[in-house]
Amino acid sequence: MATIDETFDSNVAYLTINNPPVNALATAIRAGLVAAIRKAAENPAVKAIVIIGADKTFVAGADIRELGKPLQRPFFPDVLAAIEALTKPVIAALHGNALGGGLELALACHYRVALASVKVGLPEVTLGLLPGAGGTQRLPRLVGPAKALDMILSGKPVDGRAALLLGIVDELAEGTTGADLLQGAQTFAHKMLAERRRATLVSARQDKVSAVDPALFEDIRSKNAAKWRGQLAQESIVACVEAACTLPFAEGMAFERERFFALKDSSQCKAMRHVFFAEREASKVPGLPADVKARSVRSVAIIGAGTMGGGIAMAFANAGIPVTQIELGAEALANGRAIIENNYATSVARGSMSRDKAAKALTLIKGGTNYADIADCDLVVEAVFESMDIKKAIFRKLDAVMKPGAILATNTSTLDIDEIAAATKRPEAVIGTHFFSPANVMKLQENVRGAHSSAETIASVMSLAKKIGKIPVLSGNCEGFIGNRMLYNYVRECDFLLEEGATPWQVDNALKAFGFPMGVYLMRDLAGLDVSWRVRKGREATRDMSERYSPIADRICELGRFGQKTGAGYYRYDGRTASPDPKIEALIESVSRDQGRTRKPVSDEDIVMRALCALVNEGAKILEEGIASRAGDIDVIYVNGYGFPRYRGGPMFFAEHEGLATIHAHIQRLYLEQGQLWKPAPLLARLAKSGEGWSAGAASPGSPGRNTGVHQAIVKQ
């Protein structure tokens, strides 16, 4: 129940916002606030008002679910105007999160008292929005337009101490609990009353927003033009903060309101709200018994101190979990350690991590060469070279030494979890934990359940991923799992487009214009072309020769061009700067000639649609097979692991937004033109006909192991 709980104690009314879990400002809360404020205003015994959040937090903002519908009265800016207009002092007491509308509410109060641990910020930009209840008008008046822009454009919160220094809060309360905060707010309220102090309303302050050099806004616009291309919220945020510096408060509010509504109703905001909820839903596994408990993981071992092993070790150490890395010899360990040290030094130099935190994390990472040293660890993650034989040998050893109850995880990005698990006598403890590079930075963790992974093992890795700040998604077991299986199709079609008339730079630019941070070919050059070449050579004997295959990547590797690290790949490089290479254009043209193809101009729209339809068609198969539980899981993987623009919501959201019938018609056309590889996924065909969305087509939730059953059928094909 969303309520405002009202209590009264020696001249002060306490209004407690109670709407678990995050005290979002739903309609009932806004209405409750208006009523409670009116009552307190009319009660002569009340001399001051404290607004506080129930339980562990103030307010995480507007109720995001309500943003998808027409907004209901009382409108939020009106509620805030009523609070600001009160003649009795109103004190916001902040703990936990004071985000978005939560901070806007606090800024409309006359004073702010906070715990040092509070997080205050305006993260609306992460939802494709701007603060729509005065945040763009009040915050610049408190902290100046430059800092306000920094906070609103990044969406990043600051803690209580930083907020105090910035002038966002007036005083920090001693202690760490909600009770401490209440005590602090009470003391503050009595001090205000005793001193008969009158606060200056934030909306009335002009010192920080008058005579601001307009160059500030032009600078920000021009510096970020490339980064913001295609996105709507950022430019509107700059315009609103500029309005705070040029217009009277009331006019600035009206300007903000107009821009807020334009964004709220945009497809970008809808896409980002979809991703927000999909990210939270992804960690909930359908079909897991309700009473299953995640095991507590207090120590982790990593097999392999290469790039992935090192990144994974850092991810655990950053969350305070001790890690032991195992390598074959002292030299490999020392090399791995040096890379980790260097990575931490870079983070400290960039200011993204404090020196203390980096030093502490480093002390948590140890190395060794003896498996016996890790026998007592709660979890071991194997992160070695992608070779089934090597992985099986490692899992045999792990099975022999690890204590009963330990979780045995593999970081494989493609290999069969069941085959790896079969090398042990405890397949129920084996699971995939697919991290993305750099593993200490990338948020996605694609966990892969095998046929025998126990519910406890699954629950444990899903919960642990959240503890270390990752976004976990559970995949079934098939080649490439969700992410790489789809990527394979996407890359394949881009290669075919090269043969048909496009160039790598045209493909890359078209995908970048769609919103990917990097096109396919720059990405492949950066990752290195040699590894996948080796994989392709390994599969050559079993490849289906009747299927279309592009030899372009192989031909480039045959020239010793392995990407950026060799100074040449699809592009040629001057340091890290890539430029188109006529030699590659000639090579592609010769491949087209060899195949007897007449090259034709390909439009950027065709490139994007073909690449995206390749993702969607495979995504639909993955959904129907139950490899993914929900379309949203696929979107979460693509947004957080593959650079799919968040403001487009992920490939499955994109398809639904375009209309599944439209996407199906496009794929059907490609099927007629290109053949079997484009056979429309049966689920897509069905939904296109019925007019339903993806939610009508996901495989019904089953018990753990359901997906692997599907996988076995795939492997046999």
Q: What residues line the site for ligand 3H9 (CB under 6 A)?
A: 21-22, 24, 60-65, 76, 97, 99-101, 104, 123-124, 127, 129, 131-133, 135, 277, 280
Paired sense of beta strands 572-574 and 111-115, if any: unpaired
Cα–Cα separations (whole angstroms), residue 174 to 48, 95, 577: 21, 12, 52
Nearer Cβ to ligand 3H9 (109/402):
109
Nearer Cβ to ligand 3H9 (135/178):
135
Nearer Cβ to ligand 3H9 (294/375):
294
CA distance 320 to 304: 20
Task: Pull the structure tokens for residue 170.
Answer: 């007036």
471-475, strands of its sheet edge to edge? 365-368, 323-326, 300-303, 379-382, 407-410, 430-435, 444-448, 471-475
DSSP code, position 677: G
Write down the least CB distance from residue 646 to ligand 3H9, Å. Answer: 13
Residues 242, 243, 245, 246: is their CA dihedral positive or negative?
Answer: positive
3-state secondary structure of 459: helix
**What does the DSSP assignment read for 283-313?**
TS-TT--TT--PPP---EEEE--SHHHHHHH
CA distance 657 to 643: 19
Nearer Cβ to ligand 3H9 (263/358):
263
Nearer Cβ to ligand 3H9 (63/635):
63
Amino acid letter, 207 = D
Nearer Cβ to ligand 3H9 (136/475):
136
Write down the least CB distance from residue 642 to ligand 3H9, Å. Answer: 22
Amino acid letter, 637 = I
CA distance 472 to 152: 27
What is the number of other CB atoms lying within 10 angstroms of the CB of residue 555?
A: 16
E strands within 356-406?
365-368, 379-382
Write down the least CB distance from residue 172 to ligand 3H9, Å. Answer: 20
Beta carbons of 46 and 13 less than 8 angstroms apart: yes
* Active-site residue, 124 included: yes
Write down the least CB distance from residue 468 to ligand 3H9, Å. Answer: 13
Cα–Cα separations (whole angstroms), residue 682 to 399, 653, 675: 41, 18, 16
Write down the least CB distance from residue 220 to ligand 3H9, Å. Answer: 20
CA distance 691 to 668: 16
Write down the least CB distance from residue 539 to ligand 3H9, Å. Answer: 41
Nearer Cβ to ligand 3H9 (97/413):
97
Nearer Cβ to ligand 3H9 (25/491):
25
Write down the least CB distance from residue 166 to ligand 3H9, Å. Answer: 19
Categorise residue 152: left if φ over 0, alpha if ψ from -120 to 50, beta otherwise: alpha
Identified catalytic residue from 84, 104, 242, 279: 104
C-alpha torsion angle, residues 382, 387, 388, 390 (rounded to 10): -60
Beta carbons of 269 and 67 less than 8 angstroms apart: yes
Going by C-beta distance under 8 Å and a sequence separation of 6 or more, which residues neighbour residue 666? 609, 613
Q: Cis omega before residue 74 (within 30°)?
A: yes
* Active-site residue, 658 included: no
Nearer Cβ to ligand 3H9 (101/697):
101
Phi and psi at 93, nearest 5°, equal -110, 115
Cα–Cα separations (whole angstroms), residue 254 to 75, 79, 360, 475, 559: 13, 15, 49, 47, 62
Write down the least CB distance from residue 22 to ligand 3H9, Å. Answer: 4
What is the number of other CB atoms lying within 10 angstroms of the CB of residue 354?
A: 11
Nearer Cβ to ligand 3H9 (76/678):
76
Write down the least CB distance from residue 54 to ligand 3H9, Å. Answer: 14
Nearer Cβ to ligand 3H9 (265/479):
265
The alpha-carbon radius of gyration of the chain (Å, integer) is 28
Write down the least CB distance from residue 347 to ligand 3H9, Å. Answer: 22
By Cβ distance, which residue is nearest to ligand 3H9? 100
Write down the least CB distance from residue 97 to ligand 3H9, Å. Answer: 4
Residue 208, CB-side half-sphere exposure with 13 Å CA sphere: 20
Going by C-beta distance under 8 Å and a sequence separation of 6 or more, which residues neighbour residue 491? 520, 524
Task: Pull the structure tokens for residue 51.
Answer: 């607004």
Identified catalytic residue from 6, 84, 124, 673: 124
CA distance 527 to 423: 30
Write down the least CB distance from residue 96 to ligand 3H9, Å. Answer: 8
Nearer Cβ to ligand 3H9 (40/79):
79
Task: Pull the structure tokens for residue 306.
Answer: 């290469």
Beta carbons of 702 and 470 less than 8 angstroms apart: no
Active site residues: 104, 124
